[in-house]
Structure 1
Amino acid sequence: MKKKPELLAPAGDLEKLKVAIAYGANAVYLAGKNFGLRTRATNFSESELLEGLYYAHQNGARVYVTLNILAHNEDLAELPKFVRWLAAVGVDAVIVSDPGIIAIIKKEAPDLEIHMSTQASVTNYAAAEFWKSQGLTRIVLARELSLDEIREIKEKVEVEIETFVHGAMCMSYSGRCLLSNFMVGRDANRGDCAQPCRWKYKLVEEKRPNEHYPVYEDDHGTYIMSSKDLRTIEFLPDLMKAGIDSFKIEGRMKSVNYVATVVNAYRQVIDEIYEKGDDYSFDEKWFDELSKSSHRHFTSGFYKEKAGPSAQSYDSSHYVRDFEFVALIREVEEDGVTAIIEQRNNFNLDQKLELLLPGGVVKDAKILIMWDMEGNSIVSAPHPQQVLKAVFDSEVKPYGILRREK
């Protein structure tokens, strides 16, 4: 392999940023309290963004801030000040889709690196060349492209290319959708999508308002707009050979368990491909590992062929959850086995648990004894986000993920 691509992870909040980097992300993308396309993620205050930026840079990772809304006039009042602040604190790049916002950035912070968002629907080399001519250094391509089309763009335009490799897909073209706005007044293009494409629909005849008829795509169900999740881990060698510069994982609204599990899997596979080259052979254990985070059924998207009926989930829009996220390891004492952990799902002392550690180690884990923070011995952790102290039967690390099979 000529080069190792960047692994770019979602950071919906400060905790997820630190977890993503601990599990091998080279860069994270996040939003401040405004101007990003995930307003219902926790997102970052200025003080949190400063802390996250410092943590990332101390650990050799980059931070990209999303300013990728399709802006209306009222969105622009506070933007110049925020752009100047981002440049002053040293963020590595901003992700933008609106030409007006690009103009503001060039005026207020001309040295700030700009990446073009997938929201711009760049699907050809002429569009990529145009945005390069405007000073943009990276293009996040539309998700509707095949691998051959991506390869051709990379060959014809000297610009960094970023593509999605894992996570939720949108049934609308590169996320440009008015369905949420029309149905519930929440603007998807300004970060507030209600995901009505995931809802279950029935048909009502005008003169029979109380008679609901199911809308069948086929004999299996009625979820005619709900896309499956993207998964490309099995053909990462092809993506790497195509020269893609950055592999992007979707999921700023997802859990810490999702971030750790998915980033770890892609990190391990990318490193192995880079090390072994043509001798690399995919191990299907990674399918099992990715299934341990909350997900919908998977599709390869548009990479191999145009997405057809098999890319949709007709029977349900619900997530598959074969494993439960039990607890996050916060701190580890010098002995390596005593730790402060934070509960995320009710668990008992005698339950069989699995532990995922930064660096890719997955092993069975047993808690030998645990106490609440007042020093009282306990046998269960029933309270949401309860902080407790535990002794394990083997070494653990900060940001370890405890989970159990359902």
Structure 2
Amino acid sequence: DEVLRQERDIEKENAAHRVLSVRCNTVESAKAAIRSGADTVYVGGEAFRPLRPWKLGDYEEILAYAKGKARVVVTTPRTTMRRECGELEQFFTALREIRPDGLMVSNLGSLKLAQSITDLPVQADLSFNLFNQLAAKFLKENGLSMAATSYELSFEQLREIVETAELPLETVVHGSYESMICDHDFPAMSLPEFNELDNPEVLDRHYALLDTAGEKHAIRIDQYGRNHLYFAKDLCLYPYLAKFNGLASYRIEAQDYTPELTGRVTKLYREALDALAAGKSAEEAFDHAAFEEVERLSPREWGIGTYRFRQSRNSI
């Protein structure tokens, strides 16, 4: 962690209230996040088995619960082939009646569909891989209200884009994150006794790939049969929050968490962000006991991702 510890803090003014957003996998998780202080919940998109896709009634339920407490932003699948685009056309049409607080899209095709069918505010998800201020300028000119920064940025590169970009930026500060999405379904291909008609429940279990270093990479199967491969460690930037100034939103990826853990993580970050906003030092804002308790409940170890490098490997 020494590289990140030695980096200069982002020098951009913070809002009086630091916005915390949480991506949730169920209605109950979204409610737990709101109770614990989330300003925005992201709902919808891919549903990982054994969970089932969100229904229109689920969106209506969480919108009613969140009214006056938090914003509800509906997400879209990261991969959109012909099938998903057909679904999105119908889905966006239905959302005109439900009226969430916004949409988060994953690619330019989904953006065009969203803007042609709805009048809702639209923001860009992580898969836009926002890497520099020119990309931020392009997204702003195309009507996006906010964008998530790339996972592949080093802190030095993130600092530069946050300090210079005119588009409001969101950065993931905690959670499980994907290394790859694959059209192949590894468990379905590999398990000798599996038959989609005889025992579909086999795919409701959780599987993982074991790498040569002995680390487990969780596999999550979405409603389209695609496999989402996770990194062996979850991202955790809690000890370094004081460095991440000027963000439009601090984001938690809780899509692979239980409602209880979602609430615990949200509360941990809410209290720290509020303490920093009140002028407390990084050490005063850091709750060691709460941090260790949440770490104990986490399904995976924690790490700091690409922030351990001085510069992103992809940009060298």
**Per the shorter chain, which TM-score range?**
0.7 to 0.9
Cα distance, 1:126–1:29 mapped onto 2, change above 3 Å? same
Q: What is residue 105 of structure 2 aligned with on the other side?
A: 96
Q: Return the structure number with greater relative CO, CA threshold 8 A, min gap 6.
A: 2
Q: Is the 8 A contact 1:169 1:227 kept in 2?
A: no
Does 1:122 find its partner at 2:166?
no
Q: Is the 8 A contact 2:177 2:234 kept in 1?
A: yes
Q: Is the 8 A contact 1:7 1:25 kept in 2?
A: yes
Q: What is residue 13 of structure 1 aligned with on the other side?
A: 26
Cα distance, 1:130–1:247 mapped onto 2, change above 3 Å? same
Q: What is residue 54 of structure 2 aligned with on the other side?
A: 44
Q: Is the 8 A contact 1:261 1:290 kept in 2?
A: yes
Does 1:28 find its partner at 2:41?
yes
| Local SS of the residue matching 1:76 | helix
Q: How does 1:141-220 map to 2 (within 5 A)?
A: 141-170=149-178, 172=179, 176-178=180-182, 181=184, 183=186, 198-200=208-210, 215=212, 217=213
Q: Is the 8 A contact 1:10 1:259 kept in 2?
A: no
Paired residues, what number? 272
C-alpha deviation, 1:94, in angstroms: 1.1
Q: What is residue 63 of structure 2 aligned with on the other side?
A: 53
Question: In 2, distance between residues paired with 1:290 and 1:121?
Answer: 29
| Local SS of the residue matching 2:254 | coil
Question: In 2, distance between residues paired with 1:289 and 1:24?
Answer: 18
Q: What is residue 276 of structure 1 aligned with on the other side?
A: 279
Question: In 2, distance between residues paired with 1:277 and 1:259?
Answer: 25
Q: How does 1:263-302 map to 2 (within 5 A)?
A: 263-278=266-281, 281=284, 282-302=286-306
Q: How does 1:395-406 map to 2 (within 5 A)?
A: none
Letter in 1 for 2:233: K
Letter in 2 for 1:257: E
Does 1:78 find its partner at 2:91?
no
Q: Is the 8 A contact 2:215 2:232 kept in 1?
A: no
Counting aligned pairs with the same residue, the percent is 27
Q: Is the 8 A contact 2:47 2:54 kept in 1?
A: no
C-alpha deviation, 1:96, in angstroms: 0.8
Question: In 2, distance between residues paired with 1:18 and 1:222?
Answer: 32
Q: Is the 8 A contact 1:30 1:43 kept in 2?
A: no
| Local SS of the residue matching 1:177 | strand
Kindly indicate which of the two structures has a greater share of residues assigned to helix.
2
Kindly indicate which of the two structures has a greater share of residues assigned to strand.
1
Aligned with residue 236 of structure 1, among 220, 234, 241:
241
Which structure has the bigger radius of gyration?
Answer: 1
| Local SS of the residue matching 2:279 | helix
Q: What is residue 249 of structure 2 aligned with on the other side?
A: 246
Q: What is residue 331 of structure 1 aligned with on the other side?
A: none
C-alpha deviation, 1:273, in angstroms: 0.9
Q: 5+ residue gaps in structure 2?
A: 1-12, 190-202, 218-229
Between stretches 130-139 and 142-151, larger displacement belongs to 142-151
Letter in 2 for 1:54: A
Question: In 1, distance between residues paired with 2:67 and 2:302?
Answer: 33
Q: 5+ residue gaps in structure 1?
A: 187-191, 202-214, 309-406
Question: In 1, distance between residues paired with 2:257 and 2:149?
Answer: 22
Cα distance, 1:42–1:25 mapped onto 2, change above 3 Å? farther
C-alpha deviation, 1:64, in angstroms: 0.9
Letter in 1 for 2:39: N
C-alpha deviation, 1:76, in angstroms: 1.9
Q: CA RMSD in A?
A: 2.8
Aligned with residue 265 of structure 2, among 246, 257, 262:
262
Q: Is the 8 A contact 1:68 1:119 kept in 2?
A: no
Question: In 2, distance between residues paired with 1:236 and 1:299?
Answer: 14
